[in-house]
Each structure stands twice: as C-alpha cells, then as structure tokens.
Structure 1
C-alpha cells in the first residue's frame, strides 16, 4: 500500500495520466473469458491485488505479492491526500441516492477535497461521451469510477485520454463510503474472511462468491499441470 500510494502521489504531482485496476478473482475470471476485457486491463498503468484470492494465488504460483491492496483502502488514502492538498475529485457511479450520500460523506470526512463534479452510474451507452465531457470540463486530479466491472474499466480505457488525472475503478466503494453497505470489522479483514461477512450480510452474493473457489481451482490446476489455462 505504501509503495503504490507514494507512486501515485508522485504521478499526480507530475501531472501524469494514470489508470489503476484493483483486481479481484471475479475480475481475473471475467478477463479470462473476455479477450477484449483482458486487453483493456493490460493497458492499466498499475494493477493491485484486491482480494485475498489474488494474494494466495500469486503465492501458490511462486510469484508472491507483498500484500493485499483493496480499492476502498486505496481510494480512501487518496482522498486523504486530496483533502490535505485541496485537490479536485470527480465521482462517477452508483445510484443517485447513494451518490448523494457519498458526496455528503466526503464533505464530512475529507473537508479539504474539492468535489469537481459527479454523475450517477445510470446512463445509457450513447450518453457515455457526454459524461466524459463533463469530467474533462471539471478538470479533476482524481476520477473514481464506481460502475462495477467490466463497465468501469471499459469506460476509463475509452475516455482517460481526455484529461490528465488518476483514474481508478472502485466497484462498490461508494456504497461503503456512503454507509449503505457495512464493511467487515478489522478482525474479519485480518483473518481474510471479509467475504464471509459480506455473504452473511447479503446471501444473494453466494453466486458471486463462487468465483473464489473457481479461481483457486484454476490456480492449482495450472500449478500442478504446468499448463496455461
């Protein structure tokens, strides 16, 4: 976390355009099935291990990563920096009501942040260019895109060149920041069972949770057969 934050702040101060992906097993599996999505992810400047499955998988394949870097924690740290330096931030995504609560939480928790603009995540594909034009006009230093995968990465890939900013897909982070969804307590996070806490909160997530065993099965298959899958 410290390394990626230091690098991103240096990039921001240099006025560079950056695309950050926080990859979890669901994103990896989706990219494995969709070559176009895979190509988009490969254009990212940085990919972090968001999900204990990524960390465990990397270790099993003999290419360990230092630690898990979640999208929510990274977004929160960047907001702290933006608040200290009065940087401009654009928020894109979530339901209109959730977005309003997110902006209210940002004003309360990070009063120094300049909210350059916002737009909810409910727009038609043919309206995407108009939304991107709003982002360009807002001149943000940071753009947080909470459209869910793969839509958020596709949007960033298509429009990131319109303005030099740090662009990051943050999935459901607005829901957590707004207080609509409760994040697992720290002890659950430390024991790597945050997924179980989320499942207990919302049993409808069971289908999505199956991505983790599927992902680890593929990792083990690759490890013991030495085949690319």
Structure 2
C-alpha cells in the first residue's frame, strides 16, 4: 500500500509522523473502504523487545502503522533530532474507534483478558457505545487458536481489538489478519480499563507525562518492567552520539 504518513525511525522501528486527529481520520477511511490494517501502539518496552528478538522485529515490520504510545518514544525521537508531534496512545485510539463504530454501526470483535474481565468489558462497551455491533468476543485463555480464528472469520468484523499483551498479540494479528478485512490493533491491558478492573491515570498525571509513574505507584510489581525505560534511553543517546 502507499504509505499515508512519513515515518521516524527510533531504534529500528518506524513510527508514523502525524497527529492523533490525522491518524484517526486515516483509520476511519481505512475502515469505510474495508482496508486490512495492522496497528501497533509501541512503547519503549516494545522497542527493546524488538531489538532483542529478530522474529518479533520482523512481525512488527509487517504492521501498517506503528504509533508512539509512551512519552519515552516522543523523548527518544526528539533526542535523535527527528521529533514526533505527539503521543498516539493505544487506549485513546481504541476509545476513538469505539466511538466511530458506535456512530457508524461498525462490527467489532474483542479478544483477550480474563473471562470475567472480557465479559464486563463487552457489557460496558455495549452500554457506552450503543451503536457499535459486538459481533463476537473471546477471552485470552484459549487453547484452540484456530477455533478462535474461525470465530473471527465467521463474525466478519470491521475492527478486531486484541488484548493478549505483547508479543503474543502482535504475532496473533500478523498470523491471522487475512481472515477479515478489518482494522486489527493490539491493545494490551485496555480491556481491564474498559471493564473497570483497572483505572487509567487521572488526566493531571497524563498531562505531566507521568502516567507510567502513576501505574508504578498502583502496581509496584511493574518495577522490573519499568527498568526498560532507562535502558532504552541509554540506547537512544548512544545512537545519537554514534551518528554524530
């Protein structure tokens, strides 16, 4: 396909160089014309995972759009003298697409999370986005992957949101996106927020780019994962100075 956006390379991944508004308009066009699209919302953790795993990096390269989800990506691009305009987060994009689905009566399929979480998420989506047609859903604890793929194919959705966590969700989309001409997006832990099981950081924290710190306070067990950020920034600075 012809690329609608220029990209900025940050440690091997090509991030779309655009705004939230322009990106959403493009996704709406893609959805209306039944274009098959693979969307990755990548943070520093995903960038590091791709650097350390060639198989995963190759899977990500098949994506149509990689968005800068995380202030670390924005800061990294700025350090590399190739700035990006703003964060394009997975959760905000998900909510905007659900709103669009509600307005245009698009069919959506939700895959992932625990059984009780996905059921509550589906109920809340049905309540908050009443025009959206939930054509199917399945929790993330399946053993028969092909049965789930067949369920998605038979549902013929316009959008498929996959909350299996990385790298599993990206591999799933790469391997199975051909079964439906839909927007396919990995959404991590977003179903927990939709279900009300987890809370997103208040807007005040988001505005200060401290959403990561809020999540760490709420979930101290994330500390080891958070160590990816300084490691990522060290690699960014190393690349900048090597390129001089």
Q: TM-score, normalised by structure 2?
A: 0.91
Total equivalences in the alignment: 225
Provide Cα deviations, 1:164-205, integer angstroms capped at 9, x if missing partner: 000000000001111111111001001000011101101000
Counterpart of 1:138?
Answer: 155
d(CA) in 1 for partners of 2:38, 2:88: 15
Please give the alpha-carbon distance, in whole angstroms, between the structure 1 residues aligned to 2:137 and 2:46. 25
- CA deviation vs aligned residue, 1:59-111 (integer Å, no higher than 9, x gap): 11011111001000000000000001111000000000000110011011101
- State yes or no: 1:117 paired with 2:139: no
What is the CA distance between 1:153 and its match in structure 2? 0.3
Task: Work out the CA distance in 2 between the residues paired with 1:107 and 1:130.
Answer: 24
Two-structure CA RMSD over aligned residues (Å): 0.9
Aligned to 1:36: 55
Match of 1:147 among 146, 150, 164: 164
Partner Cα distance (1:28, 1:130) in 2 = 31
Could you list the per-position Cα deviations for residues 102-131 of structure 1 after superposition, in whole angstroms to 9, with x for gaps in the alignment? Answer: 00110111011100000000013xx21211
C-alpha displacement of 1:226: 2.5
Where do 1:1-229 residues align within 5 Å? Answer: 1-124=20-143, 127-226=144-243
Q: Which runs of 4+ in 1 moved over 2 A?
A: none
Question: Residue by residue, what CA displacement relative to the aligned partner does 1:202-225 show, whole Å, maximum 9, x if unpaired?
Answer: 100000111111111110111112
Q: SS at 1:148's partner residue? A: coil
How far has the Cα of 1:29 moved from its partner?
0.5
Q: Distance in 2 between matches of 1:113 and 1:163?
A: 17
CA distance in 1, matches of 2:189, 2:107: 21
Unmatched 5+ stretches in structure 1: none
User: Using the alignment, how far apart are the partners of 1:90 and 1:139 within structure 2?
Assistant: 9
Could you tell me how far apart the structure 1 residues matched to 2:76 and 2:149 are?
36
**Partner secondary structure for residue 19 of structure 1:** strand
Structure 2 residues without counterparts, runs of 5 or longer: 1-19
